[in-house]
């Protein structure tokens, strides 16, 4: 294992502020947490190195022309799970793939321009793959939540002890 230091209260506080706005300046974070900008910068760079998080943009699929979202559950033949997952990995339409316990061996999330593109994907790319037993397609009708703020207040989830301010 590489540099796998645990996050302390200050790190979590920084993430909590950045998850509200990925463009928030380091100096602003520093003021809010009452430490110097240099400290914020070194913490962020360390976390980026350790791949704790990354700066990205999140596009609204609808607004960029991807109107159809599907979640697809797949049952694979014994021994084919990894092979199928690797193939799906390479599909442009696929945003997410994982191996799961439960009813489906693999679950993936994919975006398409329209219904026709989805059908082409299922009957074309999926049908060609070896080792697939059954496919269960669910099409999104309405989205209620799609959040990236994993750090929340209140019991249960991750939370820093104090508010990250050193006394």
The answer to the question of residue 96 lying near its own copies (CB under 8 A) is yes
**Cα 43 from Cα 77, distance rounded (Å):** 46
Q: Which one of 15, 29, 68, 126 is in contact with its own copies (CB under 8 A)?
A: 15
CB 67 within 8 A of CB 114: yes
* Choice from 2, 128, 143, 161 touching its own copies (CB under 8 A): 143
Residue 7 makes contact with its own copies by CB under 8 A: yes
Using the rule CB under 7 A, which residue among 43, 68, 88, 118 binds DNA? 43
8 A C-beta contact, residue 62 and residue 92: no
Name every residue whose Cβ is closer than 8 Å to that of residue 79 and which is 6 or more positions away in sequence. 131
Q: Give the whole-angstrom CA distance, residue 58 versus residue 64.
A: 11
What is the contact surface with its own copies in residues (CB under 8 A)? 7, 12, 15, 18-19, 21-23, 50-61, 63-66, 69, 71, 73, 85-86, 88-89, 92-104, 107-108, 111, 113, 117, 136-148, 150-152, 154, 156-158
């Amino acid at each position: 294992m590489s540099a796998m230091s645990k996050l302390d209260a200050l790190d979590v506080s920084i993430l909590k502020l950045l998850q509200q706005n990925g463009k928030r300046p380091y100096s602003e974070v520093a003021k809010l947490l009452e430490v110097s900008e240099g400290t914020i910068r070194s913490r962020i760079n360390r976390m980026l190195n350790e791949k704790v998080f990354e700066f990205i943009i999140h596009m609204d699929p609808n607004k960029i022309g991807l109107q159809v979202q599907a979640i697809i559950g797949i049952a694979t033949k014994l021994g084919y799970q990894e092979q199928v997952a690797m193939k799906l990995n390479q599909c442009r339409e696929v945003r997410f793939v994982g191996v799961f316990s439960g009813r489906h061996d693999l679950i993936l999330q994919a975006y398409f321009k329209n219904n026709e593109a989805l059908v082409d994907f299922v009957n074309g790319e999926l049908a060609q793959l070896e080792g697939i037993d059954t496919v269960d397609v669910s099409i999104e009708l309405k989205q209620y939540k799609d959040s990236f703020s994993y750090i929340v207040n209140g019991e249960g989830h991750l939370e820093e002890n104090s508010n990250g301010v050193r006394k």
